[in-house]
C-alpha cells in the first residue's frame, strides 16, 4: 500500500514538472515537416501491411476517435484512425495524427471503454508532440528513410514478422539508428491528459486501466512473446498504479454520455474477429456459442458470419434466417444475408433482402454498394453507376466504391470516367504505378477543364513523390 502511494505521488510530481517546464511544441518538427513525413510514413505502412478498409470498422473507430478529439483543444492536424491486420498487441501514433491499432489488440478488447482508452492515450502523445520531438532529432537522416525506419519500429520490428524486419532493414541502409520509445515522463503526461479527455467525452477511464493489465498479462502468459506495445510504451506497472489511484480517487464522470451504444462496439468487434481473426479458432468458438445459447440471435448471427466468410454459404444463410426469427428488424442481419445471397449468385433474393435492409438503414454504405453490384451484374449499369457515385460522395472512406464505379464506367464505354475513378482508387491505395497509368489516360480522354486541372495536380504530386523515392534508393 505504501509503495502504491509513493508511486502515485512520484507520478504527480513528475507530471507537474513536465507540464510546467516543457512547451508542447519545444524542439519539435514543424507541422508542415510532420505532414510531409506522414505521407512517406503511410506509404511505408501500406506497402508492408494490410490496413482494414471495411466500412463498419473504419467508420466506428474514426467515430470514437472524433468523440475524444471533441473534448480536446483545436488541433493542427486532421486525425485519421486505422486498424492494421496483425495479431500483435500493439497501438501507436504515427506522424501528423495518424493513429493505428493492430487487429490483435482490438480483438482482445471487451467494450468501447477499452478502445476509447487506447485512442485517448495515443491522441495525447500526438497533442504533446512526443513523437515529433524524437523525429526532430533524427530528421537529418532524410524524410523517406526516417519514415521507413519509424514504420518498422512502431509496427514492431524485431519479432513481429518479416514485413517489419524488411521495413526497418531496408530503411536503415546507412547504419543510422532511431529510438522511438517514449520516456516514462511522456507516458505519464499522456495518461493524465488522456484521462481528462476521456472524462469530458463521457468515459470513466477504466478501459485504459483494463487494457494495460491485458497487455501486461500477455507478457506473463508467454514470456517469449513480449507485446510490441511494451517496447514503445514503457513503465506499464507504474501507469497501472497511477491510473488506479486516479480512478479510485475521482470516480465521477461528466454528465455527457457516449453517443455510441456498446452494441455498436460488439457489432464492430464481431466483424473484425470474423474478417481478421484465426478462421478455425473463430469458427469453433462461434459454433460453441450457438450450442450454449441456441435462442440467442447474436450467437446465430456470429456463426452465420464466419460460415459465410469461410465459404459455407448454404449453412450461413440458414443461420442468418434463424437469427432473423429472433430479431426480424435487424438491418445488419438482413444486409449480411443479402450479401451472402449475392455471393451465391442468387440475385433476386439478394436484391429483395438488401432492399429490406435499406428501408431500415438507408445510410448504410455497404447495403448501397451491394445493391449497386446487383444492378451491375444484371446489366442495369446506369443505376449501378448512380449508386456507386452516391457512396463515393457521401462516404469517402469507402474506397471500394471508387473501384466499382470505375469498372462500371468502363463497361459503359465511358473511358474518361473509368480511368479517372480507377486512378483515384489506386492513388488512395498508394499504388502509384497503376494510379499514374489511369490518371494519365483520364487526362488524355477528358474534356472537363476542372477535372484536367485536378488530374494535373494529382500527377504532379505523384511525380514529386516518385522523385523523392528514386533519390533515396540511389
Q: What is the DSSP letter of 59?
A: H
Q: Are 400 and 369 in contact (CB under 8 A)?
A: yes
**Cell numbers of 203, please?**
468515459
CA distance readout (Å), 393 to 114, 387, 397, 405: 32, 10, 10, 12
Beta bridge partners of 83: 101
pLDDT given for residue 112 in this prediction: 96
Spatial contact of 205 and 239, defined as CB atoms under 8 Å apart:
no
**Residue 256 placed within a domain:** no
Rounded distance, CA 132 to CA 34, Å? 7
Shared domain check, 231 and 288: no
Q: Among 83-87, 211-215, 230-234, where is mean pLDDT lowest?
A: 230-234
CB neighbours (10 Å) of residue 335?
23
Task: Tally DSSP H helices, then E strands, for the chain.
Answer: 24, 3
d(C-alpha 28, C-alpha 131), whole Å: 9
Average pLDDT score over residue span 439-466:
93
What CATH number has the domain bearing residue 431?
A: 1.25.40.10
Q: Do 37 and 6 have their domain in common?
A: yes
Using left for φ > 0, alpha for ψ between -120 and 50, and beta otherwise, residue 386 falls in: alpha
Over the chain, what is the mean pLDDT? Answer: 86
DSSP-derived letter for residue 183 is P
Q: Looking at the structure, do residues 245 and 276 belong to the same domain, yes or no?
A: no
Any domain includes 114: yes
Report how far apart, in Å, the C-alpha atoms of 180 and of each of 24, 127, 129, 132, 237 are.
17, 16, 12, 10, 20
Residue where a domain terminates, one of 227, 249, 271: 249
> What's the domain range around 104?
2-249
Residues 447 and 341 in one domain: yes
Same domain, 289 and 179: no
- 162 occurs within a structural domain: yes
Residue that finishes a domain, picked among 184, 215, 249: 249
Are 240 and 300 members of one domain?
no
Condensed to tens digits (0 to 9), the pLDDT of residues 59-74 reads 999 999 999 999 998 9
**For the residues of 38-93, what is the DSSP string, one character each?**
HHHHHHHHHHHSPBP--HHHHHHHHHHHHHHHTTSPP-SS--EEEEE---S--EEE
341 and 224 housed in the same domain: no
- Specify the pLDDT at position 2: 45
Confidence of residue 429 (pLDDT cuts 50, 70, 90): confident
The domain tally of the chain equals: 2
Q: Are strands 91-93 and 98-102 parallel, antiparallel or unpaired?
A: antiparallel
DSSP-based three-state secondary structure for 28 = coil
| 258 within some domain | no
- Give domain status of residue 147, yes or no: yes
Give me the pLDDT at residue 255, please.
46
Report how far apart, in Å, the C-alpha atoms of 126 and of each of 21, 72, 114, 215 are: 18, 12, 19, 21
| CA distances (Å), origin 176, targets 39, 140, 154, 410 | 21, 10, 16, 48
Q: Which of 203, 227, 249 is the last residue of a domain?
A: 249
Q: Is pLDDT of 305 > 70? A: yes
Question: What would you measure as the largest C-alpha separation in the chain, in angstroms?
Answer: 76
How many residues are there in the chain? 474
Give strand pairing partners of 101: 83, 91
Is the residue at 71 inside a domain? yes
Range from 42-56, 236-250, 252-266, 393-407 carrying the lowest mean pLDDT: 252-266
Q: CA 215 to CA 225: how far, in whole Å? A: 11
* CA atoms of 92 and 100, how far apart (whole Å): 5
Residue 310 in any domain: the answer is yes
Q: Do residues 194 and 208 touch, judged by C-beta distance below 8 A? A: yes
How much is the pTM? 0.84
Closest C-alpha to 99, from 469, 111, 72, 110: 72
- Residue 452 or 169, more confident: 452
Amino acid at each position: 500500500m505504501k509503495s502504491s502511494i509513493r508511486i502515485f505521488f512520484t507520478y504527480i510530481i513528475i507530471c507537474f514538472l513536465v507540464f510546467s517546464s516543457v512547451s508542447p511544441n519545444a524542439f519539435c518538427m514543424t507541422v508542415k515537416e510532420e505532414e510531409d513525413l506522414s505521407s512517406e510514413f503511410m506509404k511505408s505502412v501500406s506497402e508492408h501491411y494490410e490496413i482494414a478498409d471495411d466500412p463498419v470498422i473504419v467508420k466506428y473507430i474514426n467515430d470514437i476517435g472524433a468523440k475524444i478529439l471533441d473534448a480536446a483543444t483545436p488541433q493542427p492536424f486532421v486525425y485519421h484512425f486505422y486498424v492494421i491486420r496483425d495479431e500483435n498487441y500493439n497501438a501507436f501514433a504515427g506522424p501528423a495524427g495518424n493513429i493505428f491499432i493492430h487487429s490483435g489488440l482490438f480483438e482482445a478488447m471487451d467494450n468501447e471503454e477499452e478502445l476509447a482508452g487506447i485512442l485517448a492515450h495515443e491522441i495525447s502523445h500526438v497533442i504533446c508532440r512526443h513523437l515529433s520531438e524524437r523525429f526532430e532529432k533524427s530528421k537529418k537522416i532524410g524524410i523517406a528513410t526516417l519514415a521507413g525506419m519509424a514504420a518498422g519500429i512502431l509496427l514492431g520490428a524485431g519479432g513481429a514478422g518479416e514485413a517489419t524486419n524488411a521495413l526497418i532493414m531496408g530503411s536503415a541502409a546507412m547504419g543510422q539508428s532511431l529510438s522511438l520509445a517514449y520516456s516514462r515522463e511522456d507516458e505519464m503526461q499522456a495518461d493524465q491528459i488522456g484521462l481528462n479527455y476521456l472524462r469530458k467525452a463521457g468515459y470513466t477511464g477504466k478501459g485504459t486501466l483494463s487494457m494495460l493489465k491485458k497487455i501486461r498479462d500477455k507478457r506473463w502468459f508467454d514470456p517469449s512473446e513480449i507485446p510490441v506495445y511494451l517496447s514503445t510504451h514503457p513503465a506499464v506497472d507504474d501507469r497501472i498504479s497511477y491510473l488506479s489511484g486516479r480512478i479510485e480517487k475521482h470516480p465521477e464522470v461528466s454528465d455527457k454520455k457516449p453517443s455510441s451504444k456498446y452494441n455498436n462496439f460488439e457489432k464492430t468487434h464481431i466483424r473484425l474477429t470474423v474478417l481478421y481473426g484465426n478462421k478455425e479458432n473463430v469458427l469453433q468458438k462461434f459454433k460453441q456459442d450457438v450450442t450454449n445459447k441456441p435462442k440467442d440471435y447474436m450467437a446465430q448471427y456470429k456463426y452465420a458470419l464466419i460460415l459465410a466468410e469461410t465459404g459455407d454459404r448454404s449453412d450461413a444463410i440458414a443461420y442468418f434466417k434463424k437469427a432473423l426469427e429472433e430479431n426480424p428488424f435487424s438491418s445488419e442481419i438482413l444486409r449480411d444475408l443479402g450479401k451472402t445471397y449475392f455471393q451465391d449468385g442468387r440475385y433476386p433474393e439478394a436484391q429483395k433482402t438488401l432492399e429490406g435492409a435499406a428501408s431500415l438503414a438507408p445510410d448504410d454504405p455497404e447495403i448501397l454498394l451491394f445493391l449497386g453490384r446487383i444492378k451491375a451484374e444484371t446489366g442495369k449499369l446506369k443505376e449501378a453507376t448512380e449508386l456507386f457515385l452516391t457512396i463515393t460522395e457521401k462516404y469517402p472512406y469507402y474506397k471500394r466504391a471508387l473501384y466499382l464505379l470505375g469498372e462500371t464506367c468502363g463497361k459503359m464505354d465511358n473511358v474518361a470516367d473509368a480511368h479517372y475513378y480507377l486512378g483515384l482508387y489506386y492513388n488512395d491505395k498508394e499504388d502509384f504505378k497503376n494510379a499514374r497509368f489511369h490518371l494519365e489516360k483520364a487526362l488524355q480522354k477528358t474534356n472537363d477543364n476542372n477535372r484536367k486541372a485536378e488530374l494535373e495536380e494529382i500527377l504532379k504530386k505523384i511525380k514529386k513523390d516518385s522523385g523523392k523515392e528514386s533519390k533515396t534508393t540511389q
